[in-house]
Amino acid sequence: MTTAHGVQTLTHFIGGEMVEGTSGRYGSVYNPTTGEVIAKVPLASVEETRKAIDKAHAAFPKWRDTSVAKRAEVAIKFRNLLTANMDELIQIICTESGKTVEDARGEITRGIESVDLAIGAPHLVKGEYSVNVGGDINAYSAKYPLGVVAAISPFNFPIMVPLAQTSMAVTVGNAVVLKASERVPMTALYVSELWKKAGLPNGIWTVVNGDKDAVNEILENPKVQAVSFVGSTPVAKYIYETGAKYGKRVTALGGGKNNMVVMPDADLEQVANSFIGAAYGAASQRCMAISTLMPVGQETADRLVDILKVKIAALKVGAYTEADTDFGPVISQQSKEAILAAVDRGESEGAIVVCDGRELDIVKESKGFFVGPSLLDHVKPGMEIYEQEVFGPVRNVVRVASLDEAIQLINDHELGNGVTIFTNDGFAARKFTTEIDVGMVGVNVPIPIPVGYHNFAGFKGSRFGEGHMFGPDQARFFTKTKTVSERWMTTSTSTTSTFAFPSNND
């Protein structure tokens, strides 16, 4: 990385080395807290991306043939380096994403869960063996890595999502090409150095910075066997359809419009506290953030909104360097403008603005990309702010008369990432978890993100393909199963030809 006038010029990480870009195209990396450009990131050309994939492809056979125990040992060293360098990682994440220190630390911790699961790869890739399935034939299955696999990661989790997408892929024996978000590339480059220090062979971990040119080469290149993507729903659909067209295994996770249903028997003070963190944490830039509050009954809604007015007004929006900051800026000026416009449109469509994040001084005066917390009440299906995901601190209240109405509204929506219910009624909770058509469900849990050893993925327009981001399905997604039937001939083995379909009658 070079520095000119306080602005870094970043690189790619290819073949175990930091490699300068040659396309001549660069993107700007901002510090969202100040609005300043802090780095220039190279945007790889098709040819640069292809060469990076070629190097990964050349490195793969040796890593594939390395024992799974040795690969797990490298993952253990990598995990230890993540822990030892956590403070530096926090600073990088906060600088390029605007997250608070607490949020960045939590993200790293959750990312390490994926590494922990990958360390258990020797168990997860065990095959099966059957003796004498018929005619002195033994049958066994074994899992093999795919080859070169790719991950395309979003800006909102600079380390957790890339680790979730790649840790298992590396440990089960693949060569990984990561196309990190060009908005937060510095974290991925730092992680590259940790993989190298852990002893990962050159070429097994690659970071290509870029935009659509790099993405399309990844999707079309025949040497890439699988693609994992996390981002918006329209792009997830494009990734899935294009990757599948070129014969790749693809899992593409899209957006979420996540709901919190509140039953009349719930403790509304606890609900309000849970909602505040789940709705506004990280400036609501989480695919699992609660977007919509659904109180059941008018009395429940009125009481809950009154409590929330006070709590939301007390939230502190500011820089991660300031004490007691609850959340920081959004990722870009374009995002800020889109979020503020969403409040305008919601109000024009008839929603009532209970808390107005447009009016904070920091929103109007700072050069950073700050947006205050907004809460819109009496939002109804059909309003744009209900139908579309707002990736920023604008949350909705949709009043429903019954649990059945809440379930129907949620199931009718095109997205199905996460949902939760707050209640003390076991029957209501069971009905909800049974009937809801959403991939990740919480009961009195505000953000039902599974731990690293359970599968993570939504339903409907929130996921394309059958893979998952966390959990044991990662091992299945990044391996292929080969089944072998073997028999060792003896002098007594019949040599007579048979034309019947093979069976186990012998």
Structure tokens at 105: 């630390």
Give the number of other Cβ atoms within 10 Å of residue 211's Cβ: 14
Per the annotation, the verdict on 94 as an active-site residue is no
Give the number of other Cβ atoms within 10 Å of residue 310's Cβ: 10
Cβ–Cβ < 8 Å for 373, 275: no
Cβ–Cβ < 8 Å for 112, 163: yes
Structure tokens at 351: 């929603």
DSSP string, 412-469: HSSEESEEEEE-S-HHHHHHHHHH---SEEEES-SS-PPPTTS----EETTEESS--S
Give the number of other Cβ atoms within 10 Å of residue 364's Cβ: 10
Please, where are the H alpha helices in 143-206?
160-171, 185-197
Exactly one of 10, 198, 219, 287 is catalytic; which is it?
A: 287
- Rounded distance between C-alpha atoms, residue 195 and residue 408, angstroms: 47
The number of CA neighbours under 13 Å toward the Cβ of 440 is 27
Strand partners, 242: none
Residue 159's closest CA among 137, 202, 192, 136?
192
- Rounded distance between C-alpha atoms, residue 27 and residue 349, angstroms: 36
**CA 336 vs CA 191, 340, 357, 367: distances in Å:** 29, 6, 11, 11
C-alpha angle 364-370-371 in degrees, rounded to nearest 5 = 85
Cβ–Cβ < 8 Å for 179, 166: no
- Rounded distance between C-alpha atoms, residue 373 and residue 41, angstroms: 31
- Rounded distance between C-alpha atoms, residue 251 and residue 15, angstroms: 26
Catalytic residues: 287
